[in-house]
Amino acid sequence: MKEVFQIIRDPRFQLLYGVRQRFSVGPEPRRVRLNREGCTLVEGVVKKSMVYPYMLLATHPSPVRGNVFAPIFGVVTEINERSIFLDAAEPGEDVRALAAGVEKQDLLSAPQRGAELAMLLKTLGVNTRSLGQDCEKLIINGLNPDPGVTWAEPMLLTHQETLRAGLEMLRRLSPAREIVLAAPKELRLRLNDVQVVHVAAHYPASIDALVVKAVTGEENPADVGIVGLHNVWSLGRVVRTGYPLVETVLTIGSRDHSGNYIVREGSLLGDLLHFAHIDLKPGDTLVRGGPLRGESLDRLDRSVTRGTTGVFVVEAGTIPPMKGHSPCINCGACVLVCPARLSPGMLSRNAEFALHPRNREEHIDSCLECGLCGYVCIARRPVLQYIRLSKNKLRKTLREPFAATQGDA
Ligand code: SF4
Ligand code: SF4
């Protein structure tokens, strides 16, 4: 493990940034695109119907997946299998009256605990899968997830009331006997509500499995769960507002600008960049998520989902572009940085030639998806993308054994 920290000296991998200010409020969206995959539309939610903030639009059948709510006054302009599109529109008196009638929830007085509370939170738009993990010890990952993402520090320092409310809910939700917060060791944090364990703040130390190892001293210990700080903040946000979750916190950044914003769910990436005064020029790469692990997109009309940690523009020439068909030269650089002690070159070659079952034997499931292999690859191979492709193929093989075996042959 030490090798990784010795080799990756790039200061951009530091995960503490000295950011202290509260988050700015993001733009008032003119259009939103909400993810509705797997959800059932509520009766009456059809094209051209009017919507208002916190109006329930769709429900998810899973007890741990949050329902979908409108974040703005607007009109439904399009619905497809994956998305609901809303355009902002001035409401009439009748719609304003409906919005005024949305009931505020007093969650701190609610008697529910455990699965019952999770069900209530789901009806308020919260994803609770990681919050109610069956474990003895639950770790809150308080590090910035990726280099360039900077919201964890101000969240820990200046949003403590929201985090306290989130912690209170987490204690009612989780069966864990002990909840601890993993925070950067350089951060002077005063938070009496939870035991704080200080860990290194140098990427990839923020990856969940490495945080667990840093806190417990063990790899994959039994009865230990981990949850992101972002989830705790979201819980606290719902408690403090009393309304469904329709916002998220993310970093919007480029080489010259970076800021943390509370933005409405479904906000379009193009609108966010415009709001942050960031131009996307020809040759630049638009990334949703962290710059190292996020997905590059070619359309500004894609949107922010609940789990989005950031939106970044990587300027042309900053990092040499990936080349999909560049052959692996077997230099071994990726092996040296892999914190999971895998052979990323081999995994990527197997994926490239559709030899996915071999990757199972190469323990592809141990890949932490940190992205370091692709970062150091001098052949500029999209190593992480190959690995994700192979993981997806293998997952599908498990679900559809007959069809997938044919495809892999
Ligand atoms: S993405 Fe996976 S294979 Fe690549 S360095 Fe990280 S853990 Fe290793
Ligand atoms: S760093 Fe790139 S070229 Fe070198 S072994 Fe890994 S995948 Fe192959």
Q: Is the shortest distance between the CB of 98 and ligand 2 below 6 Å?
A: no
Please list, in sequence order, all residues whose beta carbon lies within 8 angstroms of the beta carbon of residue 239, skipping any fewer than 6 positions away. Answer: 107, 108, 165, 166, 168, 169
Q: What is the pLDDT of residue 144?
A: 96
Beta-bridge mates of residue 297: 286
- Does residue 373 line the site of ligand 1, with CB under 6 A? yes
pLDDT in tens, 152-188: 999 999 999 999 999 999 999 999 999 999 999 989 8
DSSP letter for 4, please. H
The answer to whether 56 and 42 have CB atoms below 8 angstroms apart is yes
pLDDT at 23 over 90: yes
Q: Whose CA is nearest to atom 2 of ligand 2?
A: 377
For the record, the structure tokens of 371 come out as 């992205």
Q: How much distance in Å is there from the Cα of 73 to the middle of ligand 2?
A: 50
Is the shortest distance between the CB of 114 and ligand 2 below 6 Å?
no
Out of 13-22, 73-82, 116-125, least confident range:
13-22
Measure 13 CA to ligand 2 centroid, in angstroms.
20
What is the CA(329)–ligand 2 centre distance, in A? 6
210 CB within 6 A, ligand 1: no
User: Is 238 close to ligand 1, i.e. is its CB under 6 Å away?
Assistant: no
For residue 146, report the distance from its CA to the centre of ligand 1, in Å: 14
Question: What average pLDDT does this structure show over 244-255?
Answer: 95
Q: What are the backbone angles phi and psi of residue 235, rounded to the nearest 5°?
A: -60, -50
Averaged pLDDT, 113-135: 92
pLDDT tens track for 358-378: 999 999 999 999 999 998 999
Ligand 1 atom 6 nearest Cα: 370
Ligand 2 binding pocket includes 383 (Cβ within 6 Å) = yes
Does residue 382 have its Cβ closer than 6 Å to ligand 2?
Answer: no
Residue 191: pLDDT over 90: no
Confidence class for position 403, pLDDT limits 50, 70, 90: very low
Q: Whose CA is nearest to atom 5 of ligand 2?
A: 330
Q: DSSP secondary-structure letter at 268? A: B
pLDDT tens string 223-233: 999 999 999 99
Residue 49 above 70 pLDDT?
A: yes
CB 54 within 8 A of CB 70: yes
Q: What pLDDT shows up at residue 180?
A: 97
pLDDT reported for residue 404? 37
What are the backbone dihedrals phi and psi of residue 148, each rounded to the nearest 5 degrees, phi first?
95, -25
- Whole-angstrom distance, CA of residue 395 vs CA of residue 368: 16
Tell me, using a 6 A CB cutoff, whether residue 344 lines ligand 2. Answer: yes
The secondary structure of 276-311 as a DSSP string is TT----TT-EEEES-TTTSEEES-TT-B--TT--EE
What confidence category does residue 57 fall into, taking pLDDT thresholds of 50, 70 and 90? very high
> Rounded to an integer, what is the distance from CA 85 to the centroid of its chain?
21
Ligand closest to Cα of 376 equals 2
Q: Describe the chain by its helix, strand, coil percentages, rounded to 5.
A: 30, 20, 50
- Per-residue confidence at 5, pLDDT binned at 50, 70, 90? low
- Residue 165: both structure tokens together: 């409310």
- 398 pLDDT band (50/70/90 cuts)? confident
Report the share of the chain in percent with pLDDT over 70: 95
Cβ-based neighbours of 38, under 8 Å, separated by 6 or more: 60, 61, 62, 65
For the chain, give the mean pLDDT.
Answer: 91
Q: In 289-382, where does DSSP find H-type helix?
A: 333-337, 344-352, 356-361, 372-376
Question: How does pLDDT run across 254-296, given as a tens digit for each residue?
Answer: 988 899 999 999 999 999 999 999 999 998 989 999 888 888 8
**pLDDT beyond 50 at 205:** yes
Q: Calculate mean pLDDT across residues 327-350.
A: 95
> What is the atom index within ligand 2 of the atom nearest the CA of 327?
3
pLDDT for position 318: 80
State how far the Cα of 343 lies from the Cα of 337, in Å rounded to an integer: 10
Q: Which domains are present in the chain?
A: 2-20+112-121+124-240 (3.40.50), 25-106 (2.40.50), 245-314 (3.10.20.90), 333-408 (no CATH)
pLDDT at position 2 is 53
* Mean of pLDDT values over 69-75: 98
- Determine whether the shortest distance from the Cβ of 377 to ligand 2 is under 6 A: yes
**CB of residue 70 inside a 6 A radius of ligand 1:** no
Write down the pTM of the prediction.
Answer: 0.90
pLDDT at 307 over 90: no
Is the CB of 333 inside a 6 Å radius of any atom of ligand 2? yes
Residue 349 near ligand 2, beta carbon < 6 Å: no
pLDDT of 132 = 80
- Which numbered atom of ligand 1 lies nearest the CA of 369? 1
370 C-alpha to ligand 1 centroid (Å): 5
